[in-house]
Amino acid sequence: MKISIITLSALTAAVFLSACTSTGNTTSPATQTPAQVAAQICPPIQTALSGLNALTGLPAGAKADLDTVTPLVAGVCATGESVNLASLQSLQQTALPAIINAVKASGMAVEQQNSVILDITAAQVVLTAVMQARE
């Protein structure tokens, strides 16, 4: 289990970094379209969510929260989905905090929790910048 959690953290970090560099987009998140923002932030979110869903022994409350936010994540991150500011805001305000809470309740080692939380927090920072720029 420990090796798979470490692998999940490493994969999450690698996916997030590759998503940031592979878009080839040098504009700030505040000037990107909602779909461009989603392309940047979705890989680590999807990795964290699928990794958490695969964990055995996740508390029932955390599992229920993940089940609730999975459609929100899919609505923003699934290929071909129409992404708008409202869906990004729902992701920021509802899904990402639930994922962070599930990570904290997961029983993963603190180092692994911190790694996944860092990735999700980075997505929150991007979303906050986007929302503030559009106000």
Give me the residue spans of the domains in the chain: 2-133
Joined together, the tokens standing for residue 26 give 């040098």
* The model scores a pTM over 0.85: no
Which pLDDT value is given to residue 115?
A: 94
Is residue 98 classed exposed, middle or buried when 0-12, 13-18 and 19+ CB atoms within 10 A define those classes? buried
CB 113 within 8 A of CB 103: yes
Asked whether residue 9 carries a pLDDT value surpassing 70, the answer given is no
Mean pLDDT, the chain, rounded, equals: 83
**What's the rounded mean pLDDT across residues 35-62?**
93
89 pLDDT more than 60: yes
The token pair that represents 51 in the structure block: 């990794």
Residue 3 has pLDDT above 50, yes or no: no
Q: Over the stretch 52-72, which tens digit does the pLDDT of each residue have?
A: 999 988 999 999 999 999 999
What whole-number percentage of the chain has pLDDT above 70?
A: 78
Convert the pLDDT of each residue in 94-110 to its tens digit.
Answer: 999 999 999 999 989 99
Nearest to 45, CA basis, from 121, 130, 128: 121
CA distances from 95 to 2, 6, 31, 66, 84 (A): 26, 23, 23, 8, 15
- Our measurement of the distance from residue 95's CA atom to the centroid of its chain's CA atoms, rounded to an integer in Å, reads 8
